[in-house]
A and B are shown apart, each in its own frame.
Chain A
Amino acid sequence: DTAVSQTPKYLVTQMGNDKSIKCEQNLGHDTMYWYKQDSKKFLKIMFSYNNKELIINETVPNRFSPKSPDKAHLNLHINSLELGDSAVYFCASSQLGGNPTTRELFFGEGSRLTVL
């Protein structure tokens, strides 16, 4: 059973299109994240949700809209895709509340987005 799963793994699309990436975790964690890894491998936080509430929203264009229907899911929708959006997007989860907590993040396998 995959702990954090993302779909699709690969996404190739044209500029201007709208696309979504889905993420699900079966670890029972209370917090989920989206990270972006650029072509130089730099990993940067985009969003974080704790118990379905947005708690971190870094300086990300508002073309990116996360949605968390429940604790186990965090989807990422991107409008009007641009060339610079090409990257690998990683979903992750952790348990920040209660006992025990796990400060470490468990990552999905990543979704490689290519915008042409």
Chain B
Amino acid sequence: AQKVTQAQTEISVVEKEDVTLDCVYETRDTTYYLFWYKQPPSGELVFLIRRNSFDEQNEISGRYSWNFQKSTSSFNFTITASQVVDSAVYFCALSGGRSGYSTLTFGKGTMLLVSP
């Protein structure tokens, strides 16, 4: 069975602080994919990043960066110099198996509140 744990339910920071959202996953698959989604207060789900299990390179996109560590089964997400617009619920998700017929298993989400 697959499982995604986001231990931080809610994080509050002040603008310009850096913040890291943790994600730990469990899977028996050797091939799998990891994702992060953002859900702002308006409610839509916005895709941020996909990572496959064979690519442990960290990725940076503007103020966002992701640290994938297979050894600890973690896929953490860091926002540098946070802004009020970053306030949202962030979901980590896992999709496994070689078959395309797999769905995303989501963590319970971390609510990030960035205050001015």
Main secondary structure of the interface of A (DSSP, over half): strand
User: What residues make up the interface of A, taking CB atoms closer than 8 Å to B?
Assistant: 31, 33, 40-45, 48, 50, 55-56, 88, 90, 92, 96-97, 101, 103-107, 109-110, 112
* Contact across chains for A56 and B103 when beta carbons are under 8 A apart: yes
State how many angstroms separate the Cβ of B26 from the closest Cβ of chain A.
17
> A96 to B100, alpha carbons, bound, how many Å?
5
Given the interface contacts A42-B108, A43-B91, does A106 sit within 8 Å of B47 by beta carbon? yes
Interface size class of B (residues with CB under 8 A): 20 to 34
User: What residues make up the interface of B, taking CB atoms closer than 8 Å to A?
Assistant: 33, 35, 37, 39, 43-45, 47, 50, 52, 89, 91, 95, 100-101, 103-106, 108-109, 111
Point out the residues of chain B lying under 8 angstroms from A45, CB to CB.
103-105
B35 contact from A41, A42, A48, A104, Cβ within 8 A: A104
